[in-house]
Amino acid sequence: MAEGRTLFEKVWADHVVVPETADTPAVLYIDLHLIHEVTTPQAFAQLRERGLPVRRPDLTLATMDHSTPTTPVASFSDLAVVGEGAANQIRQMEKNCQDFGIDLYGFGSEHRGIVHVIGPELGASQPGKTIVCGDSHTSTHGAFGALAFGIGTTEVAHVLATQCLLQRKPKSLAVTVTGRLPAGVTAKDIILTIIGEIGVGGGTGHVIEYRGEAIRALDMEARMTICNMSIEAGARAGLIGPDETTIEYLAGRPRVPEGDAWDVAVGRWLGLSSDTNAVFDRSVSIDAAALQPMVTFGTNPGMVVGVNDPVPDASDASFRKALEYMKVTPGKPMTENPVDVVFVGSCTNGRLSDLQQAAAILEGRKVAEGVRMLVVPGSQQVKRQAEELGLDRVFAAAGAEWRESGCSMCLGMNGDTVASGQLSVSTSNRNFEGRQGIGARTVLASPATAAASAVMGRVADPRDLT
């Protein structure tokens, strides 16, 4: 019997235009190119210099999310962009999309939002596709069984001009999560545990496939949270085999096929999985039943600990430097650290179910005195859905700020920043030094843990508030 193939190998093989050789990489076809304002201006400039058109504007989807304001306004025309650089970038994006014939979900669009939230929402992210974007969190779309990865701006120009990329085939890594998650433990806690286990460089050169009972039990939004942070383990991409949960999520969305074409697509999608005799280059296994709410204590997402467990100690200089920056004490749990800011949002945890998790903790409670809590929906659609459910009123009653959609305080490009020295519990994906603002100290956590921390005024276990 021939050796089986992994899901990743099947999607890869399906998109090889020219096979790789010892001297040349493969030419790989891209089915969906997501673009945003920060990593594209130089790519469009290159096309203009060479007089090249965009080969497939119909396979290109554009929005603006990184440098856009999230301040609440009555109408989009009132939005005040922070800084001339950001304003210029936004104007260029509008012009580039107009000049090259690309659909832009811009300021006035009801579909505007974080690129990794709107791709799935629109039904553009589908099983078996190759999806790229000038953004490392493109791995999010792997939740649908797509091969989705981040690229640089030079590669953005390659895809715009040719719809292809030059790529060497990565290796495969199986991460199996067995058993059932305990109550109060979420997808964010699973992925933080995995990153802690394999390390921030542990996935370098690999595509991760998340498997096992605990992954199958997750809804699509939770699967997106998992795949989103694949890059934080250094992986090229992360994906999950499509199943009924995937199909149910996609049904009826604006960009999925209709009628007979839908049935054909569903048949093809459900056939996409790793063969039972497929061989992965590496394998890791984790028991979901043993998991607990996780928080980071250092300055990369691999420096992670159970919320009630003591912060570990190590003697190497990089570890010491991180603890010094974070002002945390080894041997003491993170729950001893007072909180200044809580951020709920981002492409990791800015979807409706994430906001519901946070609201469930905040309902009938107040954000602690002196804590600033910002809730930023991942898209305008998430915002509308949350408002229909009354979540905005739960957040407002608790004393949290309710914002327009965008990347916001995840990377602080748009003026939403954490002040120097302040400790922020954030549902985002990176706790790098200065990521949320110069000198900002970031603790990554799930929406439930973030909300519990807002109420308690210190890093807190959400299971104590349910």
Partner 1 sequence: MDALTTLHSRTVVLPTRDIDTDQIIPARFLTTTTREGLGEALFHDLRYDRDGTERVAFPLNDPASRGAEILVAGNNFGCGSSREHAPWALLDYGIRAVVSTEFADIFRNNSLKNGLLPIIVDVDTHQWLMRHPGVELHVDVEASELHLPDGRIVEYPIDAFARYCLTQGIDQLGYLQQQSDAISQFEEARPWKP
- Give the footprint of partner 1 on residues 90-119 (CB under 8 A): 92
Question: Is residue 445 part of the contact set for partner 1 (CB under 8 A)?
Answer: no
The rounded Cα 3 to chain-centroid distance in angstroms is 33
Q: How far is the CB of 169 from partner 1 (least distance, A)?
A: 12
> Contact region for partner 1 (CB under 8 A) — 68-76, 287-295, 366-374, 405-413?
405-413
Quick one: 264 or 290, whose CB is closer to partner 1? 264
CA separation (Å) from 382 to 17, 292, 312? 37, 27, 38
Residues 112-151, mask of contacts with partner 1 (x by CB under 8 A): --------------x--x----xxx-x-----------xx
Question: Is residue 29 part of the contact set for partner 1 (CB under 8 A)?
Answer: yes
Quick one: 94 or 219, whose CB is closer to partner 1? 94
- Cβ–Cβ < 8 Å for 328, 320: no
Quick one: 102 or 413, whose CB is closer to partner 1? 413
> Contact region for partner 1 (CB under 8 A) — 98-106, 165-173, 377-385, 447-455?
165-173
Among 88, 109, 292, 308, binds partner 1 (CB under 8 A): 88
Q: How far is the CB of 64 from partner 1 (least distance, A)?
A: 12
Question: Is residue 25 part of the contact set for partner 1 (CB under 8 A)?
Answer: yes
Among 4, 53, 83, 101, binds partner 1 (CB under 8 A): 83
Q: How far is the CB of 158 from partner 1 (least distance, A)?
A: 6
Quick one: 39 or 186, whose CB is closer to partner 1? 39
Q: How far is the CB of 202 from partner 1 (least distance, A)?
A: 9
Would the CA dihedral through 199, 203, 208, 212 be positive or negative? negative
Q: Between the CA atoms of 124, 10, 239 and 195, what dihedral angle is there, to the nearest 10 degrees? A: -150
Mapped to the 3 state alphabet, what secondary structure does the chain carry?
CCCECCHHHHHHHCCEEECCCCCCCEEEECCEEEECCCCCHHHHHHHHHHCCCCCCHHHEEEECCCCCCCCCCCCHHHCCCCCHHHHHHHHHHHHHHHHHCCEEECCCCCCCECHHHHHHHCCCCCCCCEEEECCHHHHHHHHHCCEEEECCHHHHHHHHHHCEEEECCCEEEEEEEECCCCCCCCHHHHHHHHHHHHCCCCCECEEEEEECHHHHCCCHHHHHHHHHHHHHHCECEEECCCCHHHHHHHCCCCCCCCCHHHHHHHHHHHCCCCCCCECCCEEEEEEHHHCCCEEECCCCCCCEEECCCECCCCCCHHHHHHHHHHCCCCCCEHHHCECCEEEECHHHHCCHHHHHHHHHHHCCCCCCCCCEEEECCCEHHHHHHHHHCCHHHHHHHHCCEECCCCCHHHCCCCCCCCCCCCEEEECCCCCCCCCCCCCCEEEECCHHHHHHHHHHCECCCHHHHC
Among 79, 166, 279, 419, binds partner 1 (CB under 8 A): 166
Q: Between the CA atoms of 409, 411, 416 and 419, what dihedral angle is there, to the nearest 10 degrees? A: 90
Question: Is residue 416 part of the contact set for partner 1 (CB under 8 A)?
Answer: no
The rounded Cα 200 to chain-centroid distance in angstroms is 16
> Contact region for partner 1 (CB under 8 A) — 230-238, 239-247, 280-288, 390-398?
230-238
Among 157, 229, 386, 400, binds partner 1 (CB under 8 A): 157
Among 200, 270, 360, 389, binds partner 1 (CB under 8 A): 200
Question: Is residue 270 part of the contact set for partner 1 (CB under 8 A)?
Answer: no
Question: Is residue 208 part of the contact set for partner 1 (CB under 8 A)?
Answer: no
Those residues whose C-beta lies under 8 Å from the C-beta of residue 177, and which sit 6 or more positions away, are 190, 194, 210, 211, 212, 213, 214, 215, 285, 286, 287, 288
Question: Is residue 161 part of the contact set for partner 1 (CB under 8 A)?
Answer: yes
Question: Is residue 67 part of the contact set for partner 1 (CB under 8 A)?
Answer: yes
Count of chain residues binding partner 1 (CB under 8 A)? 75
Residues 142, 78: Cα–Cα separation, whole Å: 36
Among 5, 27, 176, 247, binds partner 1 (CB under 8 A): 27
Among 85, 101, 338, 421, binds partner 1 (CB under 8 A): 85
> Contact region for partner 1 (CB under 8 A) — 43-51, 102-110, 342-350, 355-363?
43-51
Quick one: 18 or 290, whose CB is closer to partner 1? 18
Looking at residues 359 to 378 of the shown chain, list those that interact with partner 1 (rule: CB under 8 A): none
Question: Is residue 46 part of the contact set for partner 1 (CB under 8 A)?
Answer: yes
Q: How far is the CB of 237 from partner 1 (least distance, A)?
A: 10
Among 234, 333, 345, 406, binds partner 1 (CB under 8 A): 234
Looking at residues 298 to 317 of the shown chain, list those that interact with partner 1 (rule: CB under 8 A): 300, 302, 317
Quick one: 15 or 458, whose CB is closer to partner 1? 15
Question: Is residue 419 part of the contact set for partner 1 (CB under 8 A)?
Answer: no
Among 351, 435, 441, 458, binds partner 1 (CB under 8 A): 435
Residues 383-402, mask of contacts with partner 1 (x by CB under 8 A): --------------------
